[in-house]
């Protein structure tokens, strides 16, 4: 397990829904209806240094699910302006900067670690989980330096790369009466 993510009872202004609903429609991988965006499920990883919040959302729009990892920082991430989703006020932690996680080295390292070690999402200090994820594990090989992580944004089963794949991160969640299991969220090639 990736540790325990500290969850604070807080008011967020704007809300995560508002922040993501403004950013997601501008992304090249989004082909939904901006008025129809809804948060379906989420999971967290834990930054080993305790500085960066790592939260991933599955959002839905027009019948399609999208994978949207985010990181939350107290200070701007230098050189990552293109990955900035927006800013919000957290009633407990103060001003926060939200980034598209693939542009954040803390997320990239933790995603790589979870897949390599066959780890899972973090436990939550409060609230209930509504999504689980699991890394497949990877046996180290001599050419491991050439490995690259590919995030799957559109969760329709058609955007997963063809083999060979060295490792995966898969997820499971429910959306109303529909259960999603073993959905590929990221691969290492």
Residues 52-105 have pLDDT tens digits of 999 999 999 999 999 999 999 999 999 999 999 999 999 999 999 999 999 999
pLDDT of residue 105: 95
What would the two tokens of residue 8 be?
């604070």
- Does residue 175 surpass a pLDDT of 70? yes
- Does residue 145 surpass a pLDDT of 70? no
Eight-state DSSP code of residue 162: P
Mean pLDDT within 17-23? 95
pTM to 2 decimal places: 0.91
What would the two tokens of residue 60 be?
């839905």
pLDDT of residue 18: 94
Residues 30-57 have pLDDT tens digits of 999 999 999 999 999 999 999 999 999 9
Apex 40 CA angle, 124 and 127, nearest 5:
20
Cα separation, 157 vs 185, whole angstroms: 10
Cα separation, 135 vs 1, whole angstroms: 10
Question: If you average pLDDT over every residue of the chain, what do you get?
Answer: 91
- Does residue 137 surpass a pLDDT of 70? yes
pLDDT of residue 112: 93
Q: What are the strands, taking DSSP E only, across the chain?
A: 4-5, 12-13, 38-46, 53-61, 64-73, 84-90, 94-100, 123-124, 131-135, 149-151, 167-175, 178-188
pLDDT of residue 187: 93
- Does residue 140 surpass a pLDDT of 80? no
pLDDT of residue 143: 54
């Amino acid at each position: 397990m990736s540790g325990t993510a500290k969850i604070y009872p807080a008011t967020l202004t704007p809300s995560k829904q508002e922040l993501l609903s403004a950013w997601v429609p501008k992304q090249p991988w989004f082909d939904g209806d901006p008025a129809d965006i809804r948060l379906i499920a989420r999971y967290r990883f834990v930054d080993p240094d305790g500085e960066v919040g790592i939260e991933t959302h599955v959002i839905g729009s027009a019948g399609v699910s999208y994978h949207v990892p985010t990181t939350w920082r107290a200070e701007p991430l230098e050189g990552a302006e293109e990955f900035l989703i927006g800013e919000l006020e957290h009633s407990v932690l103060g001003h926060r900067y939200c980034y598209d996680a693939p542009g954040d080295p803390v997320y990239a390292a933790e995603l790589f670690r979870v897949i390599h070690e066959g780890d899972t999402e973090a436990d939550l200090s409060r609230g209930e989980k509504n999504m689980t994820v699991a890394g497949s594990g990877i046996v180290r090989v001599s050419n491991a330096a050439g490995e690259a992580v590919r995030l799957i944004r559109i969760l329709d089963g058609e955007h997963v790369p063809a083999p060979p794949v060295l490792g995966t991160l898969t997820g499971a969640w429910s959306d109303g009466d529909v259960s999603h299991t073993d959905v590929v969220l990221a691969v290492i090639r």
